[in-house]
Amino acid sequence: MPITPPRLDDRRYEDLVEELLARVPAHTPEWTPQQNGDPGRTLLELFAWLADTVLYRANLIPERQRLAFLQLLGMPMQPARAARGVVSVALDEKTPVTAVTLAKEARLAGPVNFESLSEVSVLPVTGECYYKRALSIDEKDELSEVIEGLRQFHKIDGTVDAYVTTPAFVDGMYDKAGLDVVQDSADRSLWIALLASRPEDVAAVKLALAGNGDSSEILNVGIAPAVELPASFDDVRRIGALEHSWWISTADLVDDAPVYSNLRRVADTTQDFTRRGIEQLVLPGGVEDFGVLEGDARKEANAGVGDRPPRIDDPDRLARLVAWLRLRPADKLESMRLSWAGINAVEIDQRQSVRDRVIGQSDGSADQVFQLQATSVDAASFELQVEESGRGYVPWQAVSDLALSGRDDGVFVLDSEAGTVTFGNGIYGRIPEAGRRIRVAQMRAGGGAAGNLPAGTLQAIEAKGVDGAPVTRKLKVIQGIATDGGSAAETLDEAERRIPARLQHRNRAVTEDDYRSLVAETPGANIGRVEVLPRFMPRQRRFNVPGVVSVMVLPRKQMHQAPNPRPDQPLIQKVHDYLSARRPLATELYVIACEYIPVALGVGITVKAGFAHDQVNYDVQQALQRHLWSLSPHGPQGEGWPLGRNVGDRELEVVVARVKGVNTVSGVNLFRRQNKQWRQVERLQQCAAIEIVLKDWQLPELLAVTVSSDGVTPETVSATHTGGEVDGGGGVALPVVPETC
């Protein structure tokens, strides 16, 4: 039976009234207040109502005690998480020719305000990304004569890689599919054109980039690696460092080959392109150390050929070109997929900074609690000072438990979610002297789901220079990437719901339920489904391997169409890191995705009179999609399609027959994909049942449904479009100008 908290007093209003009326004959027999509306009875009912209110409050555990209970368990409520992002900052002037350096904590105004996390030098150039797009096989066949003529004209021996100069991340916007710098380009490079505002400003801008002869300028380059969805759990692994180098063009040639200067990195928050962030590059200190070759094909026939920068046929851009920035992946890399790149970039987050703010004055009592001016405080950046006799403001240390401190230790406990600080009692932690002020030296606070803003939302910025003076030059923000990661603070009810799981697994992963509970608690992970496969080695597809635990996770996703939900690398990494710290020492842990088996269906039906055929066909497709979907509340039992359950035509016929408007079901044909083509599952006999067999780690992925409403079951489905293949042979890069109307 369920465990129900007991009531301290279970009497209701009606019980109290009856009890009071029953006492009347014993105490005042001459009084007979039996009728409704009697003044005496009205007084008794009023007393009963007041007593019922008091009993109601007595039966509730005060919220303060609930919070105290969570604190005793070491389970404070979680603060709101701040959204983060990367933006580019540009000088909003007609003819900018000098740089300006912005101090960190610059304020970006929007529906939710953000702050920059580091200094950034806003250089007087704009950046446009290009790559040498390798031609597809079909394009090479169509332009074969042109390519051969160009090869002979440029006197190129051997093979060539024909390309078309193609913009990337147009207008500084995010590209979800991403650009594979290695596979999609003819020269394994991403090029960023550094452009002045006017041709006549190029010389002045070059001087500004060179630091005006005083010191080298720092160029901030923002990078957002693209994270592909893995096809199976074989592809889910920790992203390795994508080694690369940055180069800047010069105006020099050696043996008819262009010369590039290598740029030194002084900071890298992308951790070698394993996460979104910025890289800081030191530009050359002399104007003669960078520049451009003649890029106009009308003046230089070899423009864009070989190792030269991409050929551009826009005279205005060529005249404003200051230098080319070149990103080159390491030779050993087979792929480097990026979704965004931009210059003058800086990381931002949703928190706001507070400095040198007095929050109260000590009264000399034990266990003093002071309320900060904000909640959801960033504990890493929080600094508190206490005024002491003869010493002024002295920094005190934040600790997790005052009971571990001595009587002379200047310590305090910070509750990040509530925004409070608690001091000791003179035995465990020192008491601030009476009459002395408490000051927040530094604090950053804020967060919430409201900070998850789409690209292009943030446009204005207010900043100070490194000298502390406000920057008066006009600035604008280019937000090419949506901010994400923001979430609301945990509520009391949500915190209490964590108690049973916490007491069961005690923050240690031992049983299957422990793993499920801990995955659900993973910070910043939006989990839709968790499956625990004990003793399963994923790469070998083998069970009964001692000491191995595989945890399959799927992200939350609304059912609309393929592809089915797959975890990306950040989600896999979050869950693995959270579980790894809590697993037994001898356990070999794998966090994996699901292996999906592509499935297509051909369905034959007839439609009842009065129903629209197109609508019924659509409803049949949706019903099948819901039935085969991998997340709740869909699937056969509302918990997603079970792992390893075979897909049978008889079961799907029942699903189709239940659709409103379907008169008869002539049959369901199943198709599996082989060599990018759909192959029908053959029946042993004409009316025999068929099914697609799935293994214990597999789920179906419905990619195509063909519904025929004439009663004939389709025996073919259309193949999935895969797009044109790119053919790059590693030859000499050769620009091809495509014909345009």
What is the pLDDT at residue 721?
35
C-alpha distances (whole Å) from 215 to each of 40, 122, 168, 220, 465 are 94, 15, 32, 16, 17
What is the pLDDT at residue 4?
43
Token couple for 377? 């405080």
Rounded to 10 deg, the angle between the 649-657 and 613-628 helix axes is 130
The whole-angstrom separation of Cα 261 and Cα 323 is 11
Do the beta carbons of residue 570 and residue 673 sit within 8 Å? Answer: no
Do the beta carbons of residue 717 and residue 671 sit within 8 Å? Answer: yes
Residues 505-527: tens digit of each pLDDT: 567 788 888 888 888 888 767 78
Token couple for 208? 């500004």
| Mean of the per-residue pLDDT values of the chain | 85
Residues 689-712: tens digit of each pLDDT: 999 999 999 999 998 899 998 888
What is the pLDDT at residue 668?
92
Model-level pTM? 0.68
Please report the DSSP string for 146-211 in residue order: HHHHHHHHTT--S-EEEEEEEEESGGG---SS-EETTTSBSSS-EEEEEE-SSGGGHHHHHHHHTG
Burial 279-307 (b: 16+ CB within 10 A, else e): bbbbbbeebebbbbbebebeeeebbbbbe
Do the beta carbons of residue 588 and residue 645 sit within 8 Å? Answer: no
What is the pLDDT at residue 720?
42
Strands 160-168 and 732-735, by their bridges, are parallel
The whole-angstrom separation of Cα 487 and Cα 333 is 36
List the 595-607 sheet strands across, edge first: 677-680, 662-674, 595-607, 698-708
Q: How many residues does the chain have?
A: 741
What is the pLDDT at residue 238?
46
- Each domain of the chain, given as residue ranges in start order, spans 13-59, 91-122+447-489, 124-135+166-343, 354-445, 492-592, 595-708
Could you give the maximum distance between any two Cα atoms of the chain, in Å?
Answer: 126
What is the pLDDT at residue 66?
62
Residue type, 112: V
Q: What is the mean pLDDT of each run of 10 residues along the chain (741 residues)?
A: 50 84 83 75 86 75 61 73 93 91 92 93 94 85 84 80 90 87 90 94 91 82 76 50 90 88 92 89 88 86 89 91 93 86 94 92 93 90 93 92 88 90 92 94 92 91 91 93 88 72 68 86 82 91 92 82 75 86 88 90 92 90 92 90 92 93 92 87 87 92 90 77 40 64 39
